[in-house]
Amino acid sequence: MSSGFHSPGRPEDLPHPEVLWSLGALKVALCAGVGSPWSERRRIADDGVLLVGDGGGEWWRLARVEGGRYLLAGWDGACDTDNPFLPPANPYADAPEWLPWEWIARLEGEEPIGFVYWWEDGAWARSPYHDQVGEDGLGMRLSAFVSPEEAALDLVDLVNEVVSVTGEQGPDEGDDPFDDLGERIYTLAKHIAGGGAPYFGFLDPMPFDTAAAANVLRAAGITGYGRPAAPLPAGTEKPAERGRTRVLNDQEWSILVESVMRAATERPRPVPGETEPLRELGDFLRGLAAEHGGEVIYTITGGNSQSQSTLADAGGNRIPVQPRGHHDHELRRAEGHPEHGMWFFLRARATPDAVEVDRAYDHRPGWSTESALGVGVWVGDVAAEMARRTPEWRPDWTWLLDEETAYDPPADPFVRPA
């Protein structure tokens, strides 16, 4: 990360939005020209928003908004702002009315968001963070786009990476080589950041799709190629919930829900029919039981996004072996029912001759394995599962999954407010 960025980021760390726009579009254009495999994560979207991402899920977006304003949002794996173990941070607490709220809602349905900054009246701003936010990811994502110098370093790495991976001739290996690739790219970045028309002729010795790069720049409205798409419509009223900050983080909310799940009862269900994943697991466990005192116990705690399992002998001693080719989530899905739902907890007790299986859909049983994090199934996974079940198969405690619980937790989670 550039030494010019604070941790967490500050508005004054950022350059003028047109610099970010130009240098970001140049990166996307070069990626298109060299045939980057991450084109879906580096593009000008249909709505005219600039997206610069990588293959690891980290990204930033810059959107033009009516009135000469901009919205910058992004996420990096180092973000503390969405850490489920820290106090919640609300990036919209001090956000202005004009942010494109409908666009933001769509984005939140696609991506985790770690930082949100906005540009108005010649300055960047963001909502304040609490003291436990040590990093918001701004510098991690934007440091290569704040100046032509920083951009040149990043783009040289991109070109050299392409040459090393493809084995193709690099731009400094032709009949008329130049001394410094970095100087050429720096000059290009400086030209672009200053509003000049781009040129890619010096890249000719290497395979480069100039038309693809030009299409990106045309969509971005870079000088000499075209005009950008119309800016996003400005919002007219900030939704009331955007100004609120959650009281509970995801871990605290999950623990609250789980405290009720531990005391809940299980509604009887038909036993799932035999499936191939269960047959394979049973065969494995029966064979293992013969080697470990005649009985082994395999327990699974699972949701959509995470799953953990343990294997132990009858005495509770862990067995450091995992079923080959077996995936807990495949078993969970295979046993799922469109109305009854999928279990969260499963226990398979095996002897050399038989396998007995217990399942829990509505409560956390005493035989389930404790997690080092103090949470069996995260609240997001519980909510997603309950949303798929038909209403009559949802336990009484599902009201705790309403988003309002995280903002205004009940004094007694066992009593639903009137």
Q: What is the pLDDT of residues 15-56, one digit of tens each?
A: 999 999 999 999 999 888 888 766 677 889 989 999 999 878
Tokens of 363: 């409560």
Amino acid found at 176: D
User: CA 181, CA 117: separation in Å to the nearest integer?
Assistant: 34
Its pTM stands at 0.79
Radius of gyration of the chain from Cα atoms?
Answer: 27
Q: What is the pLDDT of residues 335-377, one digit of tens each?
A: 999 999 999 999 999 999 999 999 999 999 999 987 766 678 9
User: CA 231, CA 17: separation in Å to the nearest integer?
Assistant: 14
Q: What is the pLDDT of residue 179?
A: 47
Look over the chain and give the mean of its residue pLDDT values, rounded to a whole number: 89
Q: What is the pLDDT of residues 381-408, one digit of tens each?
A: 999 999 999 999 999 999 999 999 999 9
Distances (CA, A) of 349 to 28, 209, 297, 307, 314: 54, 60, 5, 19, 9
Q: What is the pLDDT of residue 373?
A: 63
Q: What is the pLDDT of residue 354?
A: 96
Q: What is the pLDDT of residue 176?
A: 39
Task: Quote the DSSP letter at residue 341.
Answer: B
Tokens of 300: 């699974």
Largest CA distance in the chain: 81
Q: What is the pLDDT of residues 143-179, one digit of tens each?
A: 999 998 898 888 888 888 776 655 555 555 444 333 4
**Ramachandran region of residue 19, left (φ > 0), alpha (ψ -120 to 50) or beta?**
alpha
User: CA 235, CA 254: separation in Å to the nearest integer?
Assistant: 33
Q: What is the pLDDT of residues 182-202, one digit of tens each?
A: 788 888 888 787 777 777 877
Burial of 11 (0-12, 13-18, 19+ CB in 10 A): middle
Q: What is the pLDDT of residue 331?
A: 94
**Ramachandran region of residue 174, left (φ > 0), alpha (ψ -120 to 50) or beta?**
beta
**Among residues 135, 217, 149, which one has the least CA distance to residue 186?**
149
- The answer for residues whose C-beta is within 8 angstroms of residue 314's C-beta and 6 or more apart is 293, 294, 295, 296, 297
Rounded to the nearest 10 degrees, the angle between the axes of helix 17-34 and helix 210-220 is: 160
User: CA 311, CA 299: separation in Å to the nearest integer?
Assistant: 7
- The answer for residues whose C-beta is within 8 angstroms of residue 227's C-beta and 6 or more apart is 221
Tokens of 415: 């009593």
Give the 3-state secondary structure of residue 21: helix
Amino acid found at 276: E
